[in-house]
Structure 1
């Protein structure tokens, strides 16, 4: 089972539509969470062509910013909307291919510190209510957890970043180390002006270690946005994520 999170930084630019569709076709995720659509749900569904291939839930924008959405393959995954707010949405997800059922939280980290405090507190209360269930928290968090999450520019830990660390620790969130790169956002500048940060993540909450599954996270190199998409692959325990092909020269002589 494959999840994908992608801050698309707007869906309205015509030159980006084909790139995104090709990205979805290449990765072939079963569940995709997108952030910062900057459009209404009907417009996003039309542009991405989700009616033909996907089922979807969207959180409409307020003004010209934010906008969240979750898309899934209805033939492989069952999704039920639980709640949605301006900066996050939660769904109940069940896979028809592996033994997995749990909650999925799609996050867009706001710019204002006051909104961030409120967002982390809301998710904390929700996690307390669904404590026995496996939960995946994914999306654009708009904060770093350590100095190693940023390269270039000024590296410092402010009060809201410390609160974000407290949110992760107090809820016993576990982050899977990603392959393919340490950073998910770039300012696209060259030389000494280049800044990269790790702002998009996957967190696994609480009882995940009881699930008979193995997982792998990867930062993908396809993007028309300043953010790179990140994928999470779930497999049944005992089934390798990469099946090696082995051959001995002597076999070819027989």
Structure 2
């Protein structure tokens, strides 16, 4: 495979291997199924493993997406082997930057890897014991504009190659609208529009959220404070049909300047949620 930085990415062969999905799968609603996405800002810190265990104890995720790990290869495997998950997929870092992991427990989901790049992990997911299936794309968008544009192009290519229930989750390193940011420079409307166009081409919707509005903060005093909503879950209408009550929650900041974000497939009845987000027109 040629370098994704230079040529982008074609998933045709990988997506052709995607298992066939039931036309009208019936989810098993009593199954506890949720996913957490968290930019940990480095997985080598001693407290990282403790915070992952706390997240598992408090929220019982079947899958965990970890971004900006800054670790890959054998060292990454050594760390994930000590975490409370059975299996893991790791991407390569870019020098000492980046790093994307997907972890899961095999008694709750069956995961088939389709392909990876430095910014993406694409898998098919079967939820046990219902055998409900979906397509999951975990992403860590590059802070660099040109590389991020490659990611947008890749996701659009993926959308053209399948018609399955689909989740895209991770740190997108870009806000969609002015109210996704507090402080600092004004939002670059043209770059946000490229992000929005990608999501529209993928037929993605934002489920809204509960908890604090922003998922990242520079943690500085009020005069220099910058906060943004960078970490998100997007789903397509087919996925919404399977899980119409799904909820997204911004959890408490730990260890990192990004908060973990939880997607709960079947939340309790008393869960509160902000209204679904409508993309801003430019």
Distance in 2, Cα, partners of 1:135 & 1:48: 25
Post-superposition shift, 1:189? 0.6
Please point out which of 155, 164, 187 is paired with 1:133: 164
TM-score of the superposed pair, with normalisation by structure 1? 0.87
Distance 2:141 2:232 in 1: 11
Q: Is residue 34–residue 61 contact of structure 2 (8 Å, CA) maintained in 1?
A: yes
Q: Which runs of 5+ in 1 are unaligned?
A: 245-254
Name the structure with the higher strand share: 1
* 1:54-113, Cα deviation, whole Å (9 max, x unpaired): 211111213111111110011111101011011111000011144531110001111221
Matched, 1:101 2:107: no
Secondary structure, aligned partner of 2:265: strand
List gaps (5 residues or longer) in structure 2. 1-32, 272-282
User: What is the aligned partner in structure 2 of residue 201 from structure 1?
Assistant: 232
> How big is each residue's C-alpha offset from its partner over 1:39-60, in whole Å with a ceiling of 9 and x where there is no partner?
1143223224447642111112
Instruction: Work out whether residues 215 and 250 of structure 2, in 8 Å CA contact, stay in contact via their aligned partners in 1.
Output: yes
Counterpart position of 2:52: 20
Whole-Å separation in 1 of the counterparts to 2:109 and 2:49: 25
**CA displacement at 1:243 relative to structure 2:** 6.6
Shift of 1:116: 1.2
> Given the superposition, is the C-alpha separation of residues 27 and 209 from structure 1 closer, same or farther in structure 2, using an over 3 Å criterion?
closer
Answer whether contact 1:68 1:108 (CA < 8 A) is retained: yes
Deviates more, 1:70-79 or 1:17-26: 17-26
Distance 1:51 1:194, change over 3 A: closer
Asked if residue 145 in structure 1 is aligned to residue 180 in structure 2, the reply is: no
Query: Quick one: distance in 1 between partners of 2:101 and 2:230?
Result: 18
Contact 1:20-1:224 within 8 A present in 2 as well: no
Give the structure 2 partner of residue 3 of structure 1. 35
**1:210/1:26 CA distance change after superposition, 3 Å:** closer
Q: Are 1:233 and 2:264 an aligned pair?
A: yes
CA contact under 8 A between 1:117 and 1:160: conserved in structure 2?
no
Partner of 2:99: 67
Whether the 8 Å CA contact 2:159–2:201 is kept in 1: the answer is no
8 A Cα contact 2:52 2:83, kept in partner:
no
- The whole-number CA distance in structure 2 between the counterparts of 1:52 and 1:27 is 13
Which has the larger Rg?
1
TM-score by length of 2: 0.79
CA RMSD after TM alignment:
1.9
